[in-house]
Amino acid sequence: MRQQPTVEVAGLLAKLAEAEHQAERGEFNPAEVPGLVRAQRIVRDLAGWPTQSGSGH
């Protein structure tokens, strides 16, 4: 059985949230915001965390 790589969930969510905020501020393409929000929900769901990120989206 192949070992799956793991990531630290809180760190990943923090990076995704920061990218979301940067996109909202126009530092990145604002069209990326929905995808970043969705990515946060997916990570939370897979980790068994509440899927409401609290970001207001």
Q: 15-24: list long-range contacts, CB under 8 Å, 24+ apart.
A: 16/40, 16/43, 17/53, 17/55, 20/55
Q: Tell me the residue length of the chain.
A: 57
pLDDT at 2: 59
Q: What is the pTM of this model?
A: 0.74
> What does each of the 57 residues of the chain score in pLDDT, given as a tens digit?
555 667 789 999 999 999 999 999 999 899 999 999 999 999 999 999 987 645 444
**pLDDT value at residue 57:** 47
pLDDT at 7: 77
